[in-house]
Structure 1
Amino acid sequence: MSASPSISGRHALVTGGGSGVGRSIALALANAGIDVTICGRRESELAKVTGENARIHAIAADVTNEAAMASLHEIAEAARGPFDIVVANAGMSGSAPAHKTTLADWQRTLDVNLTGAFLTVKPALAGMAARKTGRIVFIASTAGLKGYAYVAPYVAAKHGVVGLMRALAAEVAKSGVTINAVCPGFVETEMLEETIQRIVEKTGRLAAEARSSLASTNPQGRFIQPQEVADAVLWLCGDAAASITGQTISISGGETW
């Protein structure tokens, strides 16, 4: 997928931009001529990404903190203009049987993945609608389209993200703002390695066996690469995707559709 040259000069926000998919998205947007503000909680990781492209700027912020996210929007827009693109990517996952999932674990997972996504885009909605232009992309998951065992809070949160996306897309459709969700399968990132390590610790299986089991959920028998997700986001941000809104884009080798 390729983006329209017309996106050059715009301003984008990417949450969770210090590593993994967020890093790849930030770099793809910056390489397309977009000024990118990334946020996350780990300043050292954010600094590494800003060092990779001069168009990328970092602000440390917690997506679950409404005041922090409102402040991020205010500071970044004062420096580089209103956000034309918002990518709600920050997320986390854990695993446990549902009957062993604590309320604290449940709430934390929803706070980061669902409430954090809402707080990321909320400050941008009115301005985008008034300007009659804008692109919002939620990084959801195939877990927002189907169920997986032992990750009930994550599945519930990602289904919530898909529902949030559809509601917002319907709300602003006449304004010209598009809102979509990209839903990857297992992506080869640090989060995947953490998942594999949890499987090893809880089951005693070898890491290679755990990797093979997860990869087999993709009919292509492989993990999705972060750049594949970034390419989809870049396309959704371009003029060629002006009529694409309220959609879930599954990047899963045919696992979901």
Structure 2
Amino acid sequence: MKRVLITAGASGIGRAMGEAFDRDGWQVWICDVDAGAVASVPGHWRANVVDVTDETSVAALFAEIASEWGGMDALCANAGVAGPTAAVEEIALKDWQACVAVNLEGAFLAAKYAAPMLKAAGRGALVVTSSTAGQYGYPYRAPYAAAKWAVIGLTKTLAMELGPFGVRANVICPGSVEGPRMEGVLAREAAAKGMTRDEVYAGYASGTAMGSFVEARDIGEMAVFLASDAARFVSGQVIAVDGFTVNPDPKV
């Protein structure tokens, strides 16, 4: 049975990834900083409370995985935070650093400790969660967009480094995903732009060819595909699951 670790896997996109891998017959191990959410995952999953920006905690998690599982077949480096919503001149350095720490450094640390396991196995996959903000930019979200652009560069580099060992690395760029996290983004952006929540929502939806937000399960299914043998020669790719963004900054 194949084994996957998913960071920030207790809720939202990460939880949907876990459920998709579970349906496909994988063993699932998740970590998350939210202890309450970790306690709510299915009982047959392995689960740890971990801050992905704390290298000591990340190293301990991978040591436990090596001891219990003897390795892994896939890593989904999914941890991320929205960061501040404000004009660049209004963003405090500490808020910039906190956003970059989770979105970029969290992915780096997960990859750092997963790589030796995957290289030793001579196969496997890294799936890193970026965002369409990492493809187009994102007004009033400079730290988030910068970090999500950076993880694309990180993942393409990992694809080059790990490819000779039979390990693939790809990026998923979710668009606007239905759920509590996006609702928070909508509320903050509405306040920053002097708009209503519904106006901001309509602007995002109208900026896609399919005129709709996506659901977390759509991201989960793509993660399973990229980790599977069906994608055995897919590496170094950036795949948007967004209904096709045709206008990344729609005006309403």
TM-score interval, normalised by the smaller of the two chains:
over 0.9
Look up the equivalent residue of 2:80 and give its one-letter code.
G
Residues 19-43 of structure 1: CA deviation (Å, up to 9, x unaligned): 1100000111112111111111111
Aligned residue in 1 for 2:64: 75
Residues 197-223 of structure 1: CA deviation (Å, up to 9, x unaligned): 213444453322222122222221110
Deviation at residue 249 of structure 1 after TM alignment:
0.7
**Alignment TM-score, normalising by the size of structure 1:** 0.91
Following superposition of structure 1 onto structure 2, how do residues 127-138 of structure 1 map, counting pairs within 5 Å? 127-138=117-128
Aligned residue in 1 for 2:241: 251
Aligned residue in 1 for 2:34: 42
Deviating beyond 4 angstroms after TM superposition, the runs of 4 or more aligned structure 1 residues are: none
Aligned residue in 2 for 1:219: 209
How large is the Cα RMSD of the aligned pairs? 1.3
Distance in 2 (alpha carbons) for counterparts of 1:22 and 1:244: 21
1:147 pairs with 2:119:
no
Deviation at residue 76 of structure 1 after TM alignment:
2.5
Following superposition of structure 1 onto structure 2, how do residues 31-180 of structure 1 map, counting pairs within 5 Å? 31-51=23-43, 54=44, 56-93=45-82, 94-180=84-170
**Alignment TM-score, normalising by the size of structure 2:** 0.93
Over the matched positions of the two proteins, sequence identity in percent amounts to 36
Look up the equivalent residue of 1:74 and give its one-letter code.
A
Residues 217-254 of structure 1: CA deviation (Å, up to 9, x unaligned): 22211101111111111111111101000000111222
Aligned residue in 2 for 1:5: none
Does the 8 Å CA contact 1:215/1:223 hold for their aligned counterparts? yes
Aligned residue in 2 for 1:16: 8
1:228 pairs with 2:218:
yes
SS at match of 1:249: strand
Look up the equivalent residue of 2:38 and give its one-letter code.
L
1:242 to 227, 232, 239: 232
Does the 8 Å CA contact 2:86/2:192 hold for their aligned counterparts? no
Residues 78-124 of structure 1: CA deviation (Å, up to 9, x unaligned): 12331211000010013110111111111111100000100111111
Distance in 2 (alpha carbons) for counterparts of 1:85 and 1:106: 30
Matched residues, number: 245
2:187 to 182, 197, 204: 197
Residue ranges of structure 2 left out of the alignment (5+ in a row): 247-252
Look up the equivalent residue of 1:72 and give its one-letter code.
L
Does the 8 Å CA contact 1:138/1:182 hold for their aligned counterparts? yes
Residue ranges of structure 1 left out of the alignment (5+ in a row): 1-8
Does the 8 Å CA contact 1:35/1:80 hold for their aligned counterparts? no
Distance in 2 (alpha carbons) for counterparts of 1:216 and 1:23: 27
SS at match of 1:96: coil
| Bigger mean CA deviation after superposition, 193-202 or 139-148 | 193-202
SS at match of 1:62: coil
Distance in 2 (alpha carbons) for counterparts of 1:127 and 1:75: 12
